[in-house]
Amino acid sequence: MQSRIKFEKVSKIFETRFQTIEAVIDYDMEISDGEFVSIIGPSGCGKSTLIRMLDDIIKPTSGSIYIDGTLTDYKKRMDKETLRRIGFIFQQPNMLPWYNIRQNVSLPLKIFGLSGEEWEKRVDDLMEMAGLTEYQNAFPVEISGGMGQRVGVIRAMVHDPEILLMDEPFGALDELTKEKLDMELLDIWSKTKKTIVFITHSVEEAILLSDRVFVMGTRPGRLIETVSIDLPRPRALSMTSNKEFLAYKKQLLELIGEIELSKIK
């Protein structure tokens, strides 16, 4: 089966006046259609750089990135048709303060020139699914941080992309809110079967959500190991105390611990 996303020997090197920074070196990754994968690793290992290259925010220095089998040309901007297949969810919801919640959710429709009853219904359905219908006329300053992150998630989905890129979308929230949104995200994924690439610092979050976890190391940013998570779905927070879950947690923490120790000179 053809992969939805494929990285082949992808590197990103930043040149500054005083130093050369190897953000990502020779990175290989292959993701299937409908798969939920997480990328974890220490700060500075290049996690965010990876998905920013995938979303064409920054260009790779070398290597090849394929989307649905098509090689992306990093010498020019990604075409609009390919960009429309991707939704990006940032660490902060980054809403326009002068737009109400419904207008913020609908923004990608405006960008991609999508209009009509079917798209308005999609906005309605997503807002209902995220529990935001009664807040659609509110402004960003009037809602909670958790609600704001929900806006960020469904806004990235409103133009019906096939791939969702999520850069620590719940990292700034308190633990209870983050756990609630993790479970809501799993529910959304189970209903839509989008391909999701999720960046997190939380080992437990990665295990709970993912089919596979890509573990990265630093100096330079690189792939250390890929761990398949063979836990039954649907998943629940109660699983975090299961022996199988704890075994995955121990394995991943040991991998990251080895990475962190290797940084000590």
Architecture of domain 1-85+204-265: 3-Layer(aba) Sandwich (3.40)
Per-residue pLDDT at 244 = 96
Looking at the DSSP bridge assignments, the partners of residue 199 are: 39, 167
b/e string for 12-38 if b means 16 or more Cβ within 10 A? beeeeeeeeebbbbbbebebeeebbbb
**For range 167-183, the mean pLDDT:** 84
Predicted structure pTM score:
0.89
Indicate the pLDDT class of residue 80, thresholds 50, 70 and 90.
confident
pLDDT digits (tens, 9 = 90+) for 86-104: 999 888 888 999 999 999 9
Indicate the pLDDT class of residue 260, thresholds 50, 70 and 90.
low
Where do the domains of the chain lie?
1-85+204-265
pLDDT digits (tens, 9 = 90+) for 221-243: 899 999 999 999 999 999 999 99
Please compute Rg for the chain using Cα positions.
19
33 Cα distance to chain centroid: 15
**Cα dihedral across residues 54, 56, 62, 64: positive or negative:** positive
